Amino acid sequence: MMQLLNNPFYETAFVLLISAIVGAIGLWLRQPLIVAFIAVGILVGPSAFGWVIMSEQMELLAELGIALLLFVVGLKLDLRLIQSMGTVALATGLGQVAFTTIVGFLISVLLGVAPIKAGYIAVALTFSSTIIIVKLLSDKREIDSLYGRIALGVLIVQDLVVVLVMIGLSALGGEANLSPGITLLQLVLKVGLLLLGVGGMMAFVLPKLLKHLARSQELLLIFAIAWAVTLSALTEILGFSSEVGAFLAGISLASTRYRDAIGSRLVGIRDFLLLFFFVNLGAHLDLHLLGAQIVPALVLSLFVLIGKPIIVMAIMGYMGYRKRTSLLSGLSVAQISDFP
């Protein structure tokens, strides 16, 4: 069995078959497919039967799925919509980050964790998983709802904070000879060049190029995927999250008349590739470590599940949003990112 699955093609075929079976069971139990696919990863991974060792090829498929997910989300947003959500997203995102970091640090220290390790744990608790939230909102067809757009804005703010935190940790760790001020200046220059480049493409290149490519729907789809993956890779090279690049790629095409045609054709490809991300996520969960850390894990999990929604509701309520919108926005970010 193990020798058979050493072949990447056989391994992929096996994972797809198990995913279809477990997905059908999850559907019968009225559970989201995300839960079923993560369960598949746990079953076939080292935490359970150890049938599959996730290959580099499958991890590559997972990364492509993430890029297309954020690209499709960006396709549905235009600059006016982003501007309208900017204030509440910034206030809620920064407020949630500050609250979760401070309280998470205090809880970790009370649990007996050393201050430096407690700081890392607090930062990790702060961020939510963009991939999981966007996928759930897309499955429920609520990505375009008010609370969905606010939750997405909060995630963008979190991603920006991630970059700043990584710069700070790098400077404290002595990994760079440059001062934090110079590193921050480099960050600003990179962001400026990135936005200037994307803006120039939106104004002068993409409209004419898409008009030419649209004569072949197949070629238009290939270009859209290439554009999403290329910007995703570029932002990662620049030191940002690859998700940011894919999201920008989608936004750059959101104001064109071809966005609906591109988005509708990409949904099936996106969902297929994302399957590998969730299976890969489940396969990397080491359940053997859970026993020794069960109490801290439960305490910190309850804090994330309860504390994040409360602070989001408080900030949005102060800004005049309805309780239902505030609650749904808070519940959307009430989890921890796989990134930290």
| Alpha-carbon span 11 to 272, nearest angstrom | 16
H/E segment holding residue 247? helix 242-254
Q: What is the pLDDT of residue 184?
A: 67
Q: What is the pLDDT of residue 143?
A: 81
The chain-wide mean pLDDT, for the chain, equals: 84
282 token code pair: 């489940």
- What phi and psi values does residue 140 have, to the nearest 5 degrees? -85, 0
Could you tell me what percent of the chain has a pLDDT over 70?
Answer: 86
Q: What is the pLDDT of residues 99-138, one digit of tens each?
A: 998 999 999 999 988 888 888 888 888 888 878 888 888 8
Nearest to 251 by CA among 202, 291, 204, 211: 202
Q: What is the pLDDT of residues 283-312, one digit of tens each?
A: 887 776 666 678 888 889 899 999 899 999
Residue 249 pLDDT > 50, yes or no? yes
Q: What is the pLDDT of residues 14-37, one digit of tens each?
A: 899 999 999 999 999 988 888 999
24 token code pair: 């059908």
Q: What is the pLDDT of residue 68?
A: 92
pTM, whole model, 2 decimals?
0.80
Residue 159 pLDDT > 80, yes or no? no
The stretch 47-68 carries a mean pLDDT of 82
CA contacts within 13 A on the Cβ side of 37: 18
Which of 142-156, 170-184, 232-246, 309-323 has the lowest average pLDDT? 170-184
Residues contacting residue 47 through CB under 8 Å, at least 6 positions apart: 283, 285, 286, 287, 288
The CATH number assigned to the domain with range 54-332 reads: 1.20.1530.20
Q: What is the pLDDT of residues 58-98, one digit of tens each?
A: 889 989 999 998 898 888 776 666 666 778 888 998 899 89
Q: What is the pLDDT of residue 191?
A: 80
Q: What is the pLDDT of residue 269?
A: 93
As a dihedral over the C-alpha atoms of residue 210, residue 212, residue 218, residue 224, rounded to 10 degrees, the angle is -20
Residue 163 pLDDT > 80, yes or no? no
User: What are the sequence ranges of the domains in the chain?
Assistant: 54-332
Q: What is the pLDDT of residue 32?
A: 85
- Binned at pLDDT 50, 70 and 90, residue 3 comes out as very low
- The crossing angle, in degrees rounded to 10, of helices 294-318 and 115-126 is 50
